[in-house]
Amino acid sequence: MRRPNFRFVRGDISDRDAVGRLFSQERPDALVNFAAESHVDRSIGDPALFLRTNAVGAQVLLDACRAHGARFLQISTDEVYGDLPLEGDSAFTEGSPLRPSSPYSASKASADLLALAYFRTYGLPVTVARASNNFGPWQFPEKLIPKLIARALQNRPLPLYGHGGHVRDWLYVGDCVRALDEILRRGQPGEVYNVGGGNPRANLDVARAVLRALERPESLIAFVPDRPGHDARYALDCAKIRRELGWVPEISFEDGIESTVRWYVDHRAWWTKTPGL
């Protein structure tokens, strides 16, 4: 990525000295914390790594923002709320209690609460965005949709936990970026904003959509034993961001899948380098 106002620095957000040096060099007006360990399965195997990056790392960034007078936008997840029954159409609001189910979601909930505490205690201008499952180009192939696409293109089995009935709300990455830009620019300090796509789909239906787009048979679907503590359903009530910031998602699930599949077809050289697909 070659842009005059962009500089890539490889580092660890839990490294207080490195973060401090970078803030002194760049003197940012705002920080958007996307940096996180984000794979639930890996968090079950190594929770300490997730806590160090997602919680301790967030605290290091918050301290740096406080020292340099920068605003802080915490990128969080709908998983901090826990899950909902498969039956019904209930959804989480920003005021719903946090009941994380995995080490990953617990580490993200910790960061959310710490960020909001910095607003209350120190007056740091903090906002929190809790987004539903993103998908789109450039997503790392360990995630569900790119993994399904990659394996289907290789005519390999598409593993789904249990019977594929777990439901997620899917949000196209372009819509998510627009929402985050609105929150960064116009969100009220100390507030949380839900960001959802309004596209609830069972994992089995997601796999079928990918296979249809690639004209592959459903016989590639392979059900595997469920993981521990697997959340049943996520859903977000996004009335607040619509009302206060005027944001609504624009990309349908079907259009998003079509463009995402096309991107992975056209960029095989990028994702084929990923081990373990």
As annotated, the active-site residues are 78-79, 104
Contact (CB, 8 A) for 141 and 131: no
- Tokens read off for 159: 């593993």
Instruction: Write down the H helix ranges in the chain.
Output: 16-26, 40-45, 47-50, 57-68, 103-122, 144-153, 173-186, 203-214, 239-245, 253-266, 268-271
Which of the 8 DSSP states describes residue 239?
H
Q: What residues contact 188, with CB distance under 8 A and at least 6 apart? A: 127, 244
What is the largest distance, in Å, between two alpha-carbon atoms of the chain? 56
* Cα gap 150→146, rounded to integer Å: 6
- Tokens read off for 86: 């498969």
Closest CA to 128 of 55, 59, 57, 190: 190
Contact (CB, 8 A) for 37 and 104: yes
Element containing residue 31 per DSSP (H, E): strand 30-33
β-pairing, 133-135 vs 221-224, is unpaired
